[in-house]
A and B are shown apart, each in its own frame.
Chain A
Amino acid sequence: MLGRRFLLYLLILGAGLAAPWFYPQYIQQMALLWIMVLMASTWDLLGGQMGYNSLGNITFFGCGMYISAVVQIAMFYDVAAYTSAFGAIKPEFTDEQYFMGLFLGILAAGFGAMLLSYLLGFIMFGLRGPYFAIGTLGIATAAGQLMGTIDYVGGGSGISMPFFPWAVEIRALFFYGLCFFLAAVAHLLLRWIYSTQFGLAINAIRDDEDKAEAMGIPTLKYKQIGWAITAFFMGCIGAVFGNMVGFIEPVEVAFPVATFGIFMVAMALLGGKGTLWGPVIGAVLFHVIKETTWTYLLGWQWVALGLILIINIVYFQEGIMGWLQRKFPEFFGITIDHAPPDKDAEQ
């Protein structure tokens, strides 16, 4: 069992590293694919494993993006002057400045988003079910609008990010690598977390939070840690995405509630929420289908997306992994009826 799983990871690692060399023309799409995988997986930490369905994780994405932008610029220039004077003067970043700024920017984005999730958690985690989903949606929507009012970071017209100092091909490879790395780290971290007491605790919160409280599980603490992990990765990937796109603005790039914000939920549901691999499978499938059919739908793609989402939720709630687990429970170590004597470590 362990050997097979090790092989699988090796295969993914090999494919992930080799893909950009074989298909350099799709490198942007593939980087986006890893972003999708990360978003769906970290959404599932709360939505699937803990039963707290956030519609506003994109808040951390956008805030991370802006935090990194401010850090990257503020280390060397006055941000207000940079954003307002951009176009007239062209600030230069040396190689060292750029990469140090980027590194610190991504870290600051992750920890800043984490801090934000901690503060929001005090308000949001006193709420159950629909209030949580709608409250987070409201926060994400409001965050995009509020960001547009802050002139310091360029207001509604946005900021151009510092230029990548090397060749365009290297730039694409570099950001592809960053996305792949972050998605892989997130996946492995989640994998480990789900195998610990923490994983059980958040499952317990999902199944019956009142019982978990009555059994003394400090639910607020677990919920906040869970959201902080999600927020950290969303913040980091937001910073990376901002630099990858090269230009950030509040509504379409930083806080895309109706695109990325809903994609991550749709992908996790499609693959099967509450499983480690479901969101990954869902993200790959969703992204590939979307990218290959998008241009043929001639403007109807968004309608098709809404329709798919509805059909997915209404008629195929369990998702691919849920369906597989129901069909082949033994493969997943789920015991039905009388238990065989072996103790399987499969989560």
Chain B
Amino acid sequence: MKSLLHSNIIEVHNVFKSFGGVHANIDISMHVKKGGITGIIGPNGCGKSTLFNSIVGAHPIDSGSIIFEEREISKLLVGQIARLGLLRTFQQTRIYSKMNCVDNMLISVSHRKDARDGLFAPRKGETLERALSLLEFVGLYSKRNLISGDLSFGQQKLLEFAMALMNEPKVLLLDEPTAGINPTLINGLIDRLHRANEELGITLCVIEHNMRVVMNLAEHIYCLANGRLLADGKPTELQADQRVIDAYLGGGH
């Protein structure tokens, strides 16, 4: 168990969550391995987003425990969790829509205790260079001076991803990163997610609806159905699992 603790950056133990009378999460336990890419799949309404929101602190959980880097976080607030280095992106992409892309990037620097920039730091120098190179990384360099609210939905999504990278989180939780993105661009996005994981060393945890994406991306996948954990394992194992096929793949995918 002790060795497991060290390799798992997030541990979810027996989490229950219900809204009114609806049980959204029932006795869910899962782990996110440090340095890896973990996937969460499941049909609509299976409780993936609820689990996600529980981890990042968007709502309280009924019982259970959520541990990030050996620290209980199930009582902390969103901002506190983010400042520990556990960041999320939104399914309905959220950016600062009246600011231009560079400014969006600059303000997304880490606000942890070890952050390199102070409160009244000028907006230039190394931080600016890093912002520009990350915009380059996601392919938005030529759009950098545009007001971000004027970008297309897919571009906003990429910007949000770049902003998350700018923050240098330890773990990044991505809520349906390919939803609403032009299918021809999806391979590029998968490639960038891989590179962010390998080159920047950011642990990823991805909620995905698109089976092909998650099979290509994740090393370990959890499958949820009706609020319960149905199965977990390597992509190949899950593809062969009859319960997963019945609950999810059977539904036309």
Chains A and B touch (C-beta atoms under 8 A apart)? yes
- Give the complex CA separation of A338 and B140 in angstroms: 12
Assess the B94–A208 pair: CB atoms within 8 A: yes
Which interface residue of A196, A197, A336, A344 has the most chain B CB atoms within 10 A? A197
- Chain B residues numbered 16-56 whose CB sits less than 8 Å from any CB in chain A: 56
A213 within 8 Å of B by Cβ? yes
B7 within 8 Å of A by Cβ? no
- Give the complex CA separation of A72 and B79 in angstroms: 44
Contact residues in B for A196 (Cβ distance below 8 Å): 119-123
Known contacts A196-B120, A216-B111; is A211 also within 8 Å of B96 by CB? yes
Assess the B146–A207 pair: CB atoms within 8 A: no
B220 within 8 Å of A by Cβ? no
Residue of A nearest to B79 (CB): A213
- Chain A residues numbered 202-224 whose CB sits less than 8 Å from any CB in chain B: 203-204, 206-208, 210-219, 222
Assess the B95–A211 pair: CB atoms within 8 A: yes
Question: Among the listed A195, A207, A217, A222, which residue makes an inter-chain contact with B122, where contact means beta carbons less than 8 Å apart?
Answer: A195
- Chain B residues numbered 82-101 whose CB sits less than 8 Å from any CB in chain A: 82-83, 87-88, 90, 94-100
Contact residues in B for A214 (Cβ distance below 8 Å): 56, 78-79, 82, 87-88, 90, 94
Known contacts A193-B120, A196-B121, A200-B103; is A208 also within 8 Å of B97 by CB? yes
Contact mask B135-147 → A, CB, 8 Å, 1/0?
Answer: 0000000111111
Contact mask B56-95 → A, CB, 8 Å, 1/0?
Answer: 1000000000000000000001110011000110100011
- Give the complex CA separation of A213 and B111 in angstroms: 10
Shortest Cβ gap from B169 to chain A (Å): 8
Assess the A200–B99 pair: CB atoms within 8 A: yes
Residue of B nearest to A203 (CB): B99
Contact residues in A for B121 (Cβ distance below 8 Å): 196-197
Assess the A215–B108 pair: CB atoms within 8 A: yes
Question: Among the listed B97, B98, B99, B106, which residue makes an inter-chain contact with A197, where contact means beta carbons less than 8 Å apart?
Answer: B106
- Chain A residues numbered 37-69 whose CB sits less than 8 Å from any CB in chain B: none
Known contacts A208-B94, A208-B96, A219-B79; is A200 also within 8 Å of B107 by CB? yes
- Give the complex CA separation of A279 and B147 in angstroms: 23
Question: Among the listed A193, A197, A207, A216, which residue makes an inter-chain contact with B82, where contact means beta carbons less than 8 Å apart?
Answer: A216
Contact mask B106-119 → A, CB, 8 Å, 1/0?
Answer: 11111110000111
Contact residues in B for A211 (Cβ distance below 8 Å): 90, 94-96
Assess the B98–A206 pair: CB atoms within 8 A: yes
Assess the A200–B82 pair: CB atoms within 8 A: no
- Give the complex CA separation of A130 and B87 in angstroms: 29
Assess the A215–B163 pair: CB atoms within 8 A: yes
Assess the B145–A335 pair: CB atoms within 8 A: yes
Question: Among the listed A195, A215, A225, which residue makes an inter-chain contact with B87, where contact means beta carbons less than 8 Å apart?
Answer: A215
Contact residues in B for A222 (Cβ distance below 8 Å): 119
Which interface residue of A201, A213, A216 has the most chain B CB atoms within 10 A? A216
B178 within 8 Å of A by Cβ? no
- Give the complex CA separation of A195 and B103 in angstroms: 11
B203 within 8 Å of A by Cβ? no
Residue of A nearest to B84 (CB): A216
Assess the A335–B83 pair: CB atoms within 8 A: no
Residue of A nearest to B58 (CB): A214
- Chain A residues numbered 199-255 whose CB sits less than 8 Å from any CB in chain B: 200-201, 203-204, 206-208, 210-219, 222, 225
A339 within 8 Å of B by Cβ? yes
Which interface residue of B95, B107, B110, B121 has the most chain A CB atoms within 10 A? B107
Question: Among the listed A197, A339, A344, which residue makes an inter-chain contact with B117, where contact means beta carbons less than 8 Å apart?
Answer: A197
Contact residues in A for B110 (Cβ distance below 8 Å): 216
Assess the B82–A339 pair: CB atoms within 8 A: no
A334 within 8 Å of B by Cβ? yes
Assess the B98–A200 pair: CB atoms within 8 A: no
Contact residues in B for A213 (Cβ distance below 8 Å): 77-79, 82
Known contacts A215-B82, A216-B111, A339-B142; is A200 also within 8 Å of B97 by CB? no
A174 within 8 Å of B by Cβ? no
Which interface residue of B95, B96, B143, B144 has the most chain A CB atoms within 10 A? B96
Contact residues in B for A343 (Cβ distance below 8 Å): 145
- Chain B residues numbered 138-191 whose CB sits less than 8 Å from any CB in chain A: 142-147, 150, 163-164, 167
Assess the A197–B119 pair: CB atoms within 8 A: yes
Contact residues in A for B106 (Cβ distance below 8 Å): 197, 200
- Give the complex CA separation of A200 and B106 in angstroms: 8
- Give the complex CA separation of A200 and B150 in angstroms: 18
27 A-B residue pairings within 8 Å (CB atoms): A195-B122, A197-B107, A197-B117, A197-B120, A200-B107, A201-B107, A203-B98, A204-B96, A207-B95, A207-B96, A208-B94, A208-B95, A208-B97, A213-B77, A213-B79, A214-B87, A214-B90, A214-B94, A215-B82, A216-B83, A216-B110, A216-B111, A216-B112, A335-B145, A335-B147, A336-B147, A344-B145
- Report A's interface with B, CB cutoff 8 A: 193, 195-198, 200-201, 203-204, 206-208, 210-219, 222, 225, 334-340, 343-344
The 9 A-B pairs with the shortest beta carbon distances in the complex, nearest first, are: A216-B82, A207-B96, A335-B145, A200-B107, A339-B145, A211-B94, A216-B111, A196-B120, A216-B83
- Report B's interface with A, CB cutoff 8 A: 56, 77-79, 82-83, 87-88, 90, 94-100, 103, 106-112, 117-123, 142-147, 150, 163-164, 167
Given A196-B120, A208-B94, list of 16 further CB < 8 A pairs?
A: A196-B121, A198-B120, A200-B99, A201-B107, A203-B99, A203-B107, A206-B98, A210-B78, A213-B82, A214-B82, A215-B82, A215-B87, A216-B83, A334-B147, A335-B146, A339-B142
